[in-house]
A and B are shown apart, each in its own frame.
Chain A
């Protein structure tokens, strides 16, 4: 038996969609199923329309599906909007009073059942129980998940929610559902994790000591996770008065010897570009996460996009080396964040991690254990590493471009740092020769930095045509390749996560044998395609671009590519 079904839970913000989604996801996890889930919501706290769409499978899934098998509509609007997405044999499960007299609708009085069982605020739990019953999930597992999930709120709350779930579970009675399947308790296939949490954990695994930020969707979750963990760690999380302050705070903390990061979205990153340059010229390592959303300006606060790649590469005036990464999954986000801290400190440069709303807010299963180092390597020198500390020069010229980095007030070595162009000792200078030497010194790091970059990951690399993308679209692109291959098209893909310094040689190698390659990106001008052209002189033959603020469905990509095959 092969399972691959999608359930959409729709309703107004504030109706408890998240809680229903979380219960579904955790029941799946406990039954050894794979899943991935997207969160779609508006920029509001109450009302409007939101949904949580979970894809459940017995094989790994890393992208949402375009069609659904079961629609749990917590309000009428959700039914009206999404009924058309149901596959043949799919059904809608909805509140009795909202339900139109139509086929394929199971109407349950969620609200009345909630009042009788767990209290009126538990109608979402009634709905969760009904939904899982239809899918064939055993109540024992639901009981475990609810008991664990509400434990911190006290026995009484657990009891009420269990009663509500039970009432919902029993309400569907013996109704048979075409897509129901056999569930059994089993070992989880991995940990359930979204991009936000993965980045926060990656920062902890890199010994991040200080994080400053200004709230901005979809980056705030990262800082919320860090703040909730901070008590256990030598870590301070500070909410700054604005993004300009946030980036300068982390530069100050890093200068003083604490690994530091910030997280924001495009608009906040715009404000940080001045600080990015300061990090560049002062060679102070920092990590900036830009969780992309559609822009420019405010754009769409709760939607997804991948349109800041060329901006990130070029942000700030003048030129200086920097790292740009774009992880393709939460597991990669964890690993990449830790690596960004390491590389930023090793090369004394800023590192930018580009994620997006889709990656940050979607749940994935990370199958492999997240690797946590026993020791975190640091690159700070002190008096004992120096021949003569009183002669210490922060910007001593070296072949690698990397000067030994000491921290202030930590011995006899005096540390002088300037955002003005400076001499080796750190004092400002307007000398033509010094200026040239310092630009060359900073740029000299690029070759070392490039050697630390991972090549793009390939899937069916020998194929006639290759799809190419970056960051969070990896799962959807790989699945699109599978669809295309099933349809007889000899396709593979190339997924980039390490973007700057650009791995040009590896990129040329990846596209060496294909006849054509096509870009798949969430921006309107194929930014990676343009970058590849600039860096390798290779031209893409077409592009499937989506910039409506919603994540790619694999079938959309496959359909887009097929248009080029005609």
Chain B
């Protein structure tokens, strides 16, 4: 039996009071406890940013890596030992900006990790610059005439790349988020959970209230996430009504499922053979 308290960390939390990240942290602990995964059996990998500090704030194996590079690092770890349960904490700048290329290819590989993107539509740690998911026209100290680029749509992009688990949740609905995280962990293959997360310091538009008025749970509407075209349509829905929940799910072999030698053994439990190396040399 795993208790939520087992995940408590004594590291001082450095997020702003009222930060949307607290809801995500609570949901993660709840999901891990509900799935019966003890701290020593979970690996959390993160990039750089406020979101990437998350693994320090709960008890777990962790690798707090480079800005944008959490997914390739998680890919290497998963290939080395595909029995690991891996969560990745990233943000909209970390994952869709600095790590955009890695994001695309992690989706293509269908590597079995659960990616939580704390999407607050702004750069927090560097103090309020626009992020890839900032709304066009958003005014910041740097983008003083407003953001000129189109808003990056992670759900549509993931769907277009063939992602098998595309979901959105809201950090103000911890229970919903916990359930989605659990579904993401259970899903065999790459899982994207884009989490709407208010930034209390730098985003005065997309606040808790703003989201509460707009989000609605697809599951409660009886939505079944198996229709790609419908999912694509939902992924583009933004404004007065914002759908949350699993938008699309389709199981298919994950990356490590497709590597034959990993069916019986993890890579790290393989055995070195002097004879085989000698044979390789002699075959010259």
Chain A residues engaging chain B, CB cutoff 8 angstroms: 191-193, 197, 201, 204-205, 207, 209-210, 212, 229, 231-236, 238, 240-242, 244-246, 248-258, 260, 274-275, 278, 282, 370, 372-376, 407-409, 411-420, 426-428
Contact = CB atoms under 8 A, between A and B. Distances in A.
A252 B106 CA distance: 14
15 contacts: A204-B277, A234-B261, A236-B79, A236-B267, A238-B79, A245-B101, A245-B105, A248-B72, A251-B65, A260-B76, A274-B66, A409-B85, A412-B40, A418-B56, A418-B64
A248 B45 CA distance: 12
Contacts of B273: 233
Contacts of B279: 232
Q: Name the prevailing secondary structure of the B interface residues.
A: helix
A37 B125 CA distance: 56
Given A242-B101, A252-B74, A372-B281, A427 B56 contact: yes
A256 B281 contact: no
Interface in B254-281: 259, 261-262, 265, 267-268, 270-274, 276-281
A414 B61 contact: yes
Contacts, number: 183
Contacts of B242: none
B62 interface: yes
Contact of A209 (B69, B85, B267): B267
8 tightest A-B contacts by CB? A234-B270, A252-B76, A249-B76, A408-B61, A258-B80, A253-B76, A252-B73, A256-B80
B61 A253 contact: no
A253 B77 contact: yes
B69 to A, nearest CB: 4
Nearest to B73: A252
**Which of A278, A373, A408, A415 has the largest count of B CB atoms less than 10 A from its CB?**
A408
A233 B276 contact: yes
A209 B72 contact: no
A241 B101 contact: yes
Nearest to B103: A241
A413 B284 CA distance: 44
B110 interface: no
Given A210-B79, A255-B63, A415-B61, A193 B284 contact: yes
B142 interface: no
A408 B84 contact: yes
B203 interface: no
Interface in B44-81: 45, 48, 53, 55-56, 59-66, 69, 72-81
A278 B277 CA distance: 31
Nearest to A204: B277
B56 A428 contact: yes
Given A245-B102, A370-B281, 5 more contacts: A248-B69, A252-B45, A409-B40, A409-B42, A419-B65
Contacts of A256: 43, 76-78, 80-81, 84, 268
Contacts of A236: 79, 259, 261-262, 267
A411 B76 contact: no
A484 B40 CA distance: 65
B62 A253 contact: no
Contact of A249 (B53, B73, B101): B73
A275 B64 CA distance: 13
Contacts of B53: 428
A258 B83 CA distance: 14
A417 B63 contact: yes
